[in-house]
Amino acid sequence: MAVQTGVEAGAETGAESGAETGAETGRRRSSTTREGFRVLGVGIRREPWIFTLSALGSVLFGALTVADAWVLGWSTDHVVLPAFRTGEADASMLLAVVALFLGVAILRAVGIVARRLGAGVMQYRMQAHYRRAVTRQYLRLPMEWHHRHPTGQLLSNANSDVEAAWMPIAPLPMAVGTVAMMAIAVVQMLLADVVMAAVGLLVFPAVIGANVVFQRLSSPLMTRAQQLRAELSEIAHESFDGAVVVKTLGREQEETDRFAATARELRDVQVRAGRIRAAFDPALSSLPNLGVLVVLAVGVSRVVSGATDPGDVVTVAYLLTVVSFPIRSIGWLLGEFPRSVVGYERVTRVLEATGAVEYGEARLPRDGGGAHLVVEDLGYTHPTTHPTTHPTTHPTGEAPAPGDALLGSVSFEVRPGATVALVGPTASGKTTLTALLTRLVDPDHGRVLLDDTDLRDLAPGELAGSVSLVGQTAFLFDDTVRGNVALGADVGDDEVWEALRTAQADGFVAALPHGLDSRLGERGTSLSGGQRQRISLARALVRRPRLLILDDATSAVDPEVEARILAALRGGSGGATLVVVAYRKATIGLADEVLHLDGGRIVDRGTHDELLRRSPAYAELVNAYEADHEHDRTEQDA
């Protein structure tokens, strides 16, 4: 029975750059509000209790804000005006008024605390949940998916896109409460005086119209700004990640200009959006004030004619001022929708990305001996990818054209504890083969058997417990030597030192200022290339793998040190089966069998000496490498 991880949907992820077409822009403008409320619905369904708490707090705040108007009108009719008529103020009535205002203020403060606390907790919980979901999805998706999407874009998906998606949660409870406040206020205005209420409510269509205009003007700008943020993150990551290339080739100015161009475009888009908001906010604030002036003018005439009381005029005017704030808060909510919808769409593409890896339930023996490896009729073709703004790179490090066959009908067997060397020219399929042996990708046809079990039938995590791959590019974390070697494995210092000795790394590690506790810096920048490779090798050895795959993992190590490493692996690695991608004669000579690959196929096999005698192509390949290596060493000595 298969157990499937990952989410299968069939959408590509990421924030494709470039301007939208006119049709797409129009569609987005008309659907932004609807999609924004749909995103909020997702959050409400996930955190219903927290939302309910914050919404009730907001409703309490809104109701008591309206109650202020009633207290103000009642105080005008029963305390203020009688005091003017008699020249005396009733102390008991004054105390009643103070008690009413104080009680309303306290309860309103409780509503504010509940509203803001609930909104903040809900927003941060949703952001944390989706960051975890995106990160888990990244870990589930296969390597070929990752190499179709730039790292900067993936960082943007997990950070700024998640934040943008749930920004509207902050004003959401306020908007819900203020809708209730508007309803209560309108009812109270109508009860106070229908004519003045009708005059004051004419402000509503004007305010709603202003909001609609603001949404239509700002939505495409907000959308473009969110896209540019992702592009800016991609450019920055590429420049920082390739700092050595940039500096050695003197490309600092070009990279600065590339970053500056996108930064300037983002600035201009945000400035245009800011200008629209700068014009919108004063207009929105002035409309209710104009309404208040009209209500006061109508109210004065009605008081003079005896049609209404002064307290009703005060109540309606105050309520009209109050309801302007709910409308503005709803505008704040709608103003966050463009960024929210774009961010949520990007995050959703990641969570719905195709690329689930199927697992079985089989287990591998843990006897500590070498694994029995069988490769049967293995074939792999580079998948056709969707066009992006970035060049496609194959997960194995090679960059063939889409649809090119990287491997075709490869078959071989490695006995437990034996060593096999893979030799071939560039792009012959060696690295692709190592990716298939470790199931970084699955074959188009054929299968890989480990102890007579297909890799696709193994339970999750089972392959990593028996197989280790050490690549040519050594990646080290900004951690101690111990942390980089153990990397979460439950091993003691003695086992770490044993792995370092086998990798010929114990000498320079012992010479570090703090030994195993010495920090290596980001990507191990405090070490040489050969030292980084040996630490990476020790990381694989400390797990005592039954199958160890070295993809040119000692290319930066001196030949003498490399020979000692391979001798130690053959004699003291617990009898692990070795598959080595190699070029040096000394390395190849230690293998029990050599597989000569070319064009994605095994063109010959045998011992190193046998292939030298009978295969001119093989002899030319290994001799050319030795000649190049000797030439490099001569130039270094000179």
As a whole number, mean pLDDT of residues 406-414 equals: 84
Find the CATH number of the domain harbouring 529.
3.40.50.300
Range of lowest pLDDT (180-189, 415-424, 433-442, 567-576): 567-576
How far is the CA of 532 from the CAs of 356, 471, 537, in angstroms? 32, 11, 9
Cβ–Cβ < 8 Å for 79, 92: no
> Would you state the pLDDT for residue 5?
38
Phi-psi region of 185 (alpha: psi -120 to 50; beta: other; left: phi over 0): alpha
Structural domain total, the chain: 3
> Would you state the pLDDT for residue 173?
79
As a whole number, mean pLDDT of residues 38-62 equals: 84
As a whole number, mean pLDDT of residues 8-13 equals: 35
Q: What is the DSSP string of 87-135?
A: S---HHHHHHHHHHHHHHHHHHHHHHHHHHHHHHHHHHHHHHHHHHHHH
| Residue 31: band (very low, low, confident or very high) from pLDDT cuts 50, 70, 90 | low
> Would you state the pLDDT for residue 574?
56
**Is 241 contained in some domain?**
yes
According to DSSP, the residues that pair with 601 across neighbouring strands are 598
**Is 21 contained in some domain?**
no
> Would you state the pLDDT for residue 355?
65
> Would you state the pLDDT for residue 156?
74
As a whole number, mean pLDDT of residues 514-518 equals: 83
| Residue 36: band (very low, low, confident or very high) from pLDDT cuts 50, 70, 90 | confident
Higher pLDDT residue, 83 or 373?
A: 373
**Is 504 contained in some domain?**
yes
Q: In what order do the strands lie in the sheet with 445-450?
A: 405-414, 373-381, 445-450, 453-454
Asked if the model's pLDDT at residue 153 lies above 50, the reply is yes
Cβ–Cβ < 8 Å for 380, 432: yes
Specify which of 271-275, 292-296, 313-317 reaches the highest per-range mean pLDDT: 271-275
> Would you state the pLDDT for residue 17?
35
Whether 477 and 449 share a structural domain? no
| Residue 18: band (very low, low, confident or very high) from pLDDT cuts 50, 70, 90 | very low
Q: What is the pLDDT of residues 88-108, one digit of tens each?
A: 766 777 777 777 778 777 887
Full residue range of the structural domain in which residue 79 is found: 3-12+29-351
**H or E stretch at 637:** helix 616-637
Q: Rounded mean pLDDT of the chain?
A: 76
Asked if the model's pLDDT at residue 542 lies above 60, the reply is yes
> Would you state the pLDDT for residue 30?
47
Asked if the model's pLDDT at residue 243 lies above 70, the reply is yes
Cβ–Cβ < 8 Å for 491, 497: no
Find the CATH number of the domain harbouring 165.
1.20.1560.10
**Is 326 contained in some domain?**
yes
Specify which of 77-81, 322-326, 549-553 reaches the highest per-range mean pLDDT: 549-553
Asked if the model's pLDDT at residue 255 lies above 50, the reply is yes
Asked if the model's pLDDT at residue 168 lies above 50, the reply is yes
Whether 192 and 142 share a structural domain? yes
> Would you state the pLDDT for residue 44?
86
Whether 449 and 472 share a structural domain? no
**Is 509 contained in some domain?**
yes
Range of lowest pLDDT (372-376, 381-385, 579-583): 381-385
> Would you state the pLDDT for residue 517?
82
Asked if the model's pLDDT at residue 402 lies above 80, the reply is no
Cα–Cα dist 362/461, whole Å: 11
Whether 307 and 379 share a structural domain? no
| Residue 573: band (very low, low, confident or very high) from pLDDT cuts 50, 70, 90 | very low
According to DSSP, the residues that pair with 412 across neighbouring strands are 375
Whether 619 and 584 share a structural domain? yes
**Is 564 contained in some domain?**
no
> Would you state the pLDDT for residue 620?
85
Report which residue type is found at 465: G
**Is 18 contained in some domain?**
no
Asked if the model's pLDDT at residue 114 lies above 70, the reply is yes
As a whole number, mean pLDDT of residues 362-381 equals: 82
| Residue 202: band (very low, low, confident or very high) from pLDDT cuts 50, 70, 90 | confident
Whether 101 and 173 share a structural domain? yes
Range of lowest pLDDT (35-49, 247-261, 278-292, 431-445): 278-292
Report which residue type is found at 520: L
Whether 251 and 207 share a structural domain? yes
> Would you state the pLDDT for residue 119?
83
Of the candidates 522, 554, 519, the one whose C-alpha atom is nearest the C-alpha of residue 536 is 554
> Would you state the pLDDT for residue 26?
43
| Residue 74: band (very low, low, confident or very high) from pLDDT cuts 50, 70, 90 | confident
Whether 311 and 406 share a structural domain? no
Evaluate if pTM is beyond 0.75. Answer: no
> Would you state the pLDDT for residue 396?
42
Cα–Cα dist 345/343, whole Å: 5
Asked if the model's pLDDT at residue 2 lies above 80, the reply is no
Whether 442 and 486 share a structural domain? no
| Residue 390: band (very low, low, confident or very high) from pLDDT cuts 50, 70, 90 | very low
As a whole number, mean pLDDT of residues 152-158 equals: 76
**Is 573 contained in some domain?**
no
Asked if the model's pLDDT at residue 389 lies above 50, the reply is no
Whether 582 and 443 share a structural domain? yes
| Residue 310: band (very low, low, confident or very high) from pLDDT cuts 50, 70, 90 | confident
Asked if the model's pLDDT at residue 536 lies above 80, the reply is yes
> Would you state the pLDDT for residue 419?
87
Cα–Cα dist 503/553, whole Å: 11
Whether 472 and 422 share a structural domain? no
Asked if the model's pLDDT at residue 348 lies above 80, the reply is yes
Whether 306 and 371 share a structural domain? no
Specify which of 18-32, 206-220, 599-613 reaches the highest per-range mean pLDDT: 599-613
**H or E stretch at 326:** helix 310-351
